[in-house]
């Protein structure tokens, strides 16, 4: 039996199982279960079933976010600002407001951005792209300073002695804060390259490397746990919602 006959046999078997599953559990549960199995089939090797599920997922996601962007961003923030009566059927609250013609500027930038598709005037899109990148960088700089940088500094400036409800709580809380203080200090020493890493300075830098490795390991473990949680959810869907083997 050659490879082509095996592929056709697998295809017929999948169709028969799909039809039987639709009859037993319904169309939507069956489609979800088969798409999950198609994605998991990549563990064996790259195949046509995995590619079908992958392309379907990408296409549906792109269509969903396109519709969400159109009705959630473009219509209320541009169309309703320039000519409010036109959105009266979908967004009646915005239809009663006065037009704001300052929004012609983002409309012009959007048109310039679409010039990227033109084989002749594609360079014009760089103006709009430069404006978007510069504006985004400027706005995010303030936000990141407030939410990340200052918050990280605030989380590091902790009291080294914390009095708890009992001796064990006091010891654990104080040890945690001291560990964070020493770990941050050693990590900063590791990134100080103006002085050679030897002697006491080198020992401190090596402790900083150890702290960084522990941090990266914890982050990787958190990521693995998140993936395992997703796998457990899909397995529960297959065994409970589809096959009904567990409660």
pLDDT of residue 214 exceeding 70, the answer is yes
| pLDDT band, residue 138 (cuts 50/70/90) | very high
User: Whole-number mean pLDDT of the chain?
Assistant: 89
**How much is the pLDDT for 1?**
63
Cβ neighbours of residue 115 closer than 8 Å, sequence gap 6 or more: 121, 122, 124, 125
Continuous segment of H or E residues that includes residue 80: helix 80-82
With 0-12 / 13-18 / 19 or more C-beta atoms within 10 angstroms meaning exposed / middle / buried, residue 86 is: middle
Orientation of helix 3-25 relative to helix 27-40, angle to 10°: 150
CA distances from 197 to 18, 63, 190, 214 (A): 64, 54, 8, 20
Task: Give the pLDDT score at 189.
Answer: 92
Q: What is the mean pLDDT of residues 63-86?
A: 90
Q: How far is CA 120 from the centre of its chain?
A: 35
Confidence at 69, pLDDT banded by 50, 70, 90? very high
* Residues of the chain above pLDDT 70, percent: 99
Average pLDDT over residues 41-55: 91
């Amino acid at each position: 039996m050659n490879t082509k006959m095996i592929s056709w046999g697998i295809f017929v078997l999948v169709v028969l199982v799909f039809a039987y599953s639709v009859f037993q559990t319904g169309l939507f549960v069956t489609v979800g279960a088969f798409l999950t199995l198609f994605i998991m089939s990549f563990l064996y090797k790259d195949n046509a079933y995995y590619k079908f599920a992958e392309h379907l997922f990408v296409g549906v996601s792109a269509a969903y976010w396109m519709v969400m962007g159109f009705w959630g961003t473009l219509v209320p923030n541009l169309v309703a600002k320039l000519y409010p009566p036109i959105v009266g059927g979908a967004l009646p609250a915005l239809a009663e407001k006065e037009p704001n013609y300052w929004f012609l500027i983002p409309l012009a930038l959007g048109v310039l951005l679409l010039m990227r598709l033109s084989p002749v005037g594609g360079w014009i899109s760089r103006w709009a792209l430069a404006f978007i990148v510069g504006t985004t960088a400027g706005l995010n700089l303030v936000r990141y300073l407030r939410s990340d940088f200052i918050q990280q500094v605030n989380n590091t400036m902790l009291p080294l002695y914390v009095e708890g409800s009992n001796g064990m709580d006091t010891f654990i809380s104080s040890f945690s804060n001291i560990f964070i203080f020493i770990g941050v200090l050693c990590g900063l020493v590791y990134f100080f390259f103006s002085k050679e890493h030897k002697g006491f300075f080198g020992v401190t830098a090596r402790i900083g490397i150890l702290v960084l490795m522990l941090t990266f390991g914890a982050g990787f473990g958190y990521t693995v746990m998140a993936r395992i949680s997703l796998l457990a959810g899909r397995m529960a869907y297959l065994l409970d919602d589809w096959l009904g083997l567990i409660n």
